[in-house]
Amino acid sequence: MSWVGMFVFVVGVLCYAQDSDFKAAATNVAGAAYPRVDSASRCQFRLKAPDATKVRLNFWSGPKLDMEKQPDGYWTVTTPSLAPGLHYYTLIVDGVEFSDPASHAFYGGSKDASAIEIPEAGVTYYSAQPVPHGEVREVWYHSSVTGSWRHALVYTPPGYDVQTRVRYPVLYLQHGGGEDETGWIRQGNANFILDNLIASGAAKPMIIVMANGYARRAGQTPPDLAGKPFGSPEAMRAMRETAAAFEDDVTQALIPFIDTNFRTLSDRDHRAMAGLSMGGMQTFQVTFDHLELFSYIGGFSGAAGSLGNEKFDPKTTLNGALADPAAFAKRVHVLWLGVGTEEPANMHAGIERLHTSLVDADIKHVFYESPGTAHEWQTWRRDLKDFAPRLF
């Protein structure tokens, strides 16, 4: 057995104080007592690695902490209080990065990685509650655009299989960059958010479609971007090609498949699209290119990037759809922008600048700021909670 296999086999948490209230995280694998979280949102980790010389806890959007070796061969650490929500992390042992075998893995950062859920005190809107629950279905559809079978998840509301004469509006809900179509369910708890909103009467029953946001046209050779930095002409051209292919996949393959195989209300007044980060940029491109298909639009931490570096001009920006504010308000029932107050400065500024431009142009829209959250799932859970009740 290699030295890696010798020590990476147990991960846990060390409880330092007898009066602590640390409990196993909800994101632990079955039977794993650790890592744990307390009521102050601190986390404790413990890794058995007797032959290691250095172990580090690496939160992607949080603290990077050296763990301390104990006499029994365990390495331990307690974090400071963390913001509520889902946080990706890895363990770095003598320079080698690992996922935590005691925590579930989630697809983020273009790889499977550990994550830990930090509860938000008194908040239940994104957790399973004693209310009727919808179902999340996996579907495969063939796309003539990509020349391949593509995967999507579909949420159907409570009662869908019982009330067989009822047809439903549809929200197309997109993930962010480095994540995939599973993100809104596994990380975002979108199904529980909708279950709870529908049960309370705050939102109408709806179908939600979550598709894979990466697409390449049939026969198209993947670009060679080795050594090409992000933002280079080659990288930007590849992004534009991918975005255009995804747009055509949504409008030419995915929507027809959903309308054929599910009981949808298939007119534009009952079709919405929203997305987070990259998915928000995709949403603005797809919807404003196809306002004949959509009448509800949401950008979660991602709308401004779709406008590139162009100067905002309501007569030309977004295909000139905003040139007549009154006509736009009749055509688009909800235009929604959201951002966390702690997002990266340039991202927050871009979305706030778009909001200000819309205000100056007298374009009716909603602007929501998630207090105390950054570019993370807690921001986007809150976004969906605010956006979904405004639909249909």
Whether 325 has a pLDDT exceeding 60, the answer reads yes
Share of the chain above pLDDT 70, in %: 91
pLDDT mean across residues, the chain: 91
Burial of 241 (0-12, 13-18, 19+ CB in 10 A): middle
More confident residue, 48 or 386: 386
8 Å CB contact between 336 and 301: no
Residues 52 and 31: their CA atoms lie apart, in Å, by 26
- Range 368-381 average pLDDT: 96
8 Å CB contact between 207 and 191: no
Q: Sign (positive/negative) of CA torsion 275, 263, 250, 320?
A: negative
Asked whether residue 240 falls in the same domain as residue 182, the answer is yes
Asked whether residue 43 falls in the same domain as residue 72, the answer is yes
Asked whether residue 75 falls in the same domain as residue 153, the answer is no
- Beta-carbon contacts of 285 under 8 Å, excluding residues fewer than 6 positions away, are 243, 247, 306
Please report the pLDDT score of residue 61 as a whole number.
83
Least confident of 1-5, 201-205, 253-257, 321-325: 1-5
8 Å CB contact between 302 and 275: yes
Residues 138 and 17: their CA atoms lie apart, in Å, by 45
pTM of the model: 0.91
Taking only the tens place, the pLDDT of each residue in 297-306 is: 999 999 877 6
Which amino acid is located at 125 in the chain? Y
Residues 308 and 285: their CA atoms lie apart, in Å, by 11
Whether 124 has a pLDDT exceeding 80, the answer reads yes
Please report the pLDDT score of residue 310 as a whole number.
66
Nearest to 65 by CA among 35, 38, 21, 20: 35
How many helices and strands (H and E) does the chain possess? 9, 20
Asked whether residue 294 falls in the same domain as residue 224, the answer is yes
Asked whether residue 141 falls in the same domain as residue 75, the answer is no
Asked whether residue 86 falls in the same domain as residue 169, the answer is no
Please report the pLDDT score of residue 82 as a whole number.
92
- Range 62-78 average pLDDT: 93
- Concatenate the DSSP letters of all residues of 203-264 into one string: S---EEEEE------TTPPPP--TTPPTTSHHHHHHHHHHHHHHHHHIIIIIHHHHHHHS-B
In a domain, residue 161? The reply is yes
Asked whether residue 163 falls in the same domain as residue 81, the answer is no
Taking only the tens place, the pLDDT of each residue in 222-281 is: 777 677 665 577 766 777 788 899 999 999 999 999 999 999 999 999 999 999 999 999
Asked whether residue 228 falls in the same domain as residue 356, the answer is yes
Asked whether residue 145 falls in the same domain as residue 220, the answer is yes
Please report the pLDDT score of residue 304 as a whole number.
77
In a domain, residue 249? The reply is yes
Asked whether residue 162 falls in the same domain as residue 45, the answer is no
278: β partners = none
Q: Which domain holds residue 12?
A: 3-118
Please report the pLDDT score of residue 308 as a whole number.
57
